[in-house]
Structure 1
Amino acid sequence: FARFPMIFVLLSSFGLVATFYGFEKVIDQIPYFNENPHMILMTGVVVLVLTGALYKKLN
């Protein structure tokens, strides 16, 4: 990492973008989420709240 920081940043950025793009494609294939996009938002908020509560409980 110390010798090639730019390569590390580019590879990490590509990995992050590829992961988000993959999630988007998977969600597009689920008919319920495709027909009700507001449910994606609600599901995401619920997941964030649950993981935040779990993090708080474990800390």
Structure 2
Amino acid sequence: TCKPVPRDPFPEVQDVKQWVGLYLREADSKTGGRIAAAVSEKLGPDAQAALSSVMQG
């Protein structure tokens, strides 16, 4: 059988970590810092460090 070639649904996203960081920073600024507040309240120190490095770019 012939399989169809896989299609990339988001060809404009080349660096996922950078894209996620940009998305989270924009969402955080739109919500007045609620994402950063939730991260500091609900996540442990390891997860906070990982997510903050992504959000900083």
TM-score normalized with structure 2 length: 0.39
RCO higher in structure (CA 8 A, sep ≥6): 2
TM-score (norm. length: structure 1): 0.38
